[in-house]
């Protein structure tokens, strides 16, 4: 079955702005995101730096198109004062323009202090909230080192519903000792709440985290791969039956409720990143340009104040890497990868995609092609990396 492109999307590949807020109240033991615990945050200084870096990005990398999405990610953006969020949205509108149906998402943590900010965020222009519930079981939340209980998560969801029509939650599975029946109950409970978008991530042990140190000492924190694959399959089945099919490997939505900002990443569209450790990517000179800013909040602030931007690295990816990015991201999507549109963007795809491997993978039932669109089959989903290795001739992507 062909999955239709998301309806109501003003610019198919989109033009997004990502804003990184790098602070959290506490560092979770599994998390390797660029997040820091700080006693004092100089909000006016950050506000000025965000606006300055946005002005630099708009002058250098604006596409002339209005933004189809803004995404406040973190860290914990729900710790930002609402007036800081409102100021950033106003500046983005002045510099880039906002599409009439612009999607503005903020990530939030379910602790009561942050949940109290929801009204201010909605008034600032945020129209989609992504709440880091992680688990609806207290034992899961304790294991994950979260600062909130399951009841607090439910209360935050209840509050969020008053302010945001579009609401998403994050859940983490494959914790050790989790049973398949317990997990099925947990996702059914989430579905019963009427949530229309869920990001469901398999717990991974990332270098540099507390979980990584504990795992290296021999502690078992995750379940084995076979068991995790069973939970993955159960998730897909229950969500699809409930009308929230997986539109991406870890993301489920009622049709029309997909996260348009993340679709811009997966469709290898253009986006700008602002704030410490933010990334941006855009089509440029027949390939792709990648930008990354300084990760340390203090160094980022200093550089923005002296140079007008915190950019640390600029990558110029050639066509081979650009095609690789489009395939690696696009094949994660249920809608697949529009090869015809890709050949409009980049010259001679056959220099970069092994067409014999393409035909072989289709014959083996790992890929399916329909009306110029290539997608991974259910069987292929389990071996996506192998498929990419066979398909791609020239890529070094990801190059950082
Ligand atoms: C930037 S973080 C979260 C935002 C927010 N600060 C929170 O914790 O609720 C985005 C999401 O990535 C997921 N995540 C982070 N580290 C993970 C890991 N090691 N394994 C699986 N999921 C992870 C979590 O579900 C988290 O909500
Ligand atoms: S999971 Fe969220 S709250 Fe926890 S450290 Fe990472 S970004 Fe911060």
How remote is the CA of residue 27 from the centroid of ligand 2, in Å? Answer: 6
How remote is the CA of residue 310 from the centroid of ligand 1, in Å? Answer: 24
Q: How is the chain split into domains, by residue range?
A: 15-264, 337-400
pTM value? 0.94
Question: Contact at 8 Å (CB) between 334 and 247?
Answer: yes
Q: Does residue 50 have a pLDDT over 90?
A: yes
pLDDT at 398: 58
Could you say which of 2.60.120, 1.10.10, 3.30.310, 1.10.3470 is the CATH number of the domain covering 337-400? 1.10.10
Q: Which of 22, 26, 28 to mutate to test the pocket of ligand 2 (most atoms within 8 A of CB)?
A: 28
How remote is the CA of residue 33 from the centroid of ligand 2, in Å? Answer: 7
How remote is the CA of residue 118 from the centroid of ligand 2, in Å? Answer: 18
Q: What is the CATH number of domain 15-264?
A: 3.20.20.70
- Confidence class for position 248, pLDDT limits 50, 70, 90: very high
Q: Average pLDDT for residues 65-79, to the nearest whole number?
A: 96
- Confidence class for position 396, pLDDT limits 50, 70, 90: low
Q: Which residue has the higher pLDDT, 343 or 376?
A: 376
| Cβ of 76 below 6 Å from ligand 1 | yes
| Cβ of 75 below 6 Å from ligand 2 | yes
When the pLDDT of each residue in the chain is averaged and rounded to a whole number, the result is 92
pLDDT at 1: 33
Q: Does residue 395 have a pLDDT over 70?
A: no
Least confident of 9-23, 35-49, 66-80, 296-310: 9-23
| Cβ of 33 below 6 Å from ligand 2 | yes
């Amino acid at each position: 079955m062909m999955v239709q492109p998301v309806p109501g999307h003003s610019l198919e590949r989109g033009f997004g702005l990502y804003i990184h807020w790098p602070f959290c109240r506490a560092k979770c033991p599994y998390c390797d995101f660029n997040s820091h615990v700080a006693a004092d945050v100089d909000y006016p200084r950050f506000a000025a730096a965000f606006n300055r870096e946005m002005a630099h990005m708009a002058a250098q990398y604006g596409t002339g198109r209005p933004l189809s999405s803004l995404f406040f990610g973190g860290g914990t953006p729900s710790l930002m004062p609402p007036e800081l969020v409102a100021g950033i949205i106003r500046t983005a509108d002045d510099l880039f323009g906002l599409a009439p149906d612009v999607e503005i998402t903020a990530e939030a943590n379910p602790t009561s202090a942050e949940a109290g900010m929801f009204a201010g965020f909605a008034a600032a222009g945020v129209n989609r909230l992504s709440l880091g519930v992680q688990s609806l079981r207290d034992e899961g939340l304790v294991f994950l080192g979260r600062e909130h209980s399951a009841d607090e998560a439910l209360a935050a969801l209840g509050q969020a519903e008053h302010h945001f029509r579009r609401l998403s939650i994050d859940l983490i599975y494959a914790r050790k000792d989790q049973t398949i029946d317990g997990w099925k109950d947990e996702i059914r409970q989430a579905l019963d709440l009427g949530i229309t978008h869920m990001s469901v991530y398999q717990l991974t042990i990332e270098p540099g985290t507390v979980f990584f140190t504990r795992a290296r000492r021999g502690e078992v924190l995750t379940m084995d791969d076979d068991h995790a694959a069973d939970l993955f399959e159960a998730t897909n089945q229950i969500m699809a039956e409930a009308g929230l099919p997986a539109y991406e490997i870890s993301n489920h939505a009622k049709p029309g409720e997909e996260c348009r900002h993340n679709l811009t990443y997966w469709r290898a569209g253009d986006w700008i990143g602002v704030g410490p450790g933010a990334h941006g990517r855009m089509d440029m000179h027949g390939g792709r340009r990648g930008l990354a800013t300084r990760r340390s909040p203090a160094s980022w602030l200093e550089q923005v104040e002296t140079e007008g931007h915190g950019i640390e690295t600029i990558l110029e990816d050639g066509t081979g890497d650009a095609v690789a990015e489009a395939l690696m991201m696009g094949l994660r999507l249920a809608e697949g990868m529009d090869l015809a549109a890709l050949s409009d963007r980049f010259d001679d795809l056959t220099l970069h995609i092994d067409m014999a491997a393409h035909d072989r993978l289709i014959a083996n039932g790992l890929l399916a092609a329909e009306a110029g669109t290539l997608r991974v089959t259910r069987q292929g989903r389990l071996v996506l990396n192998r498929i990419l290795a066979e398909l791609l001739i020239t890529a070094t992507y990801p190059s950082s």
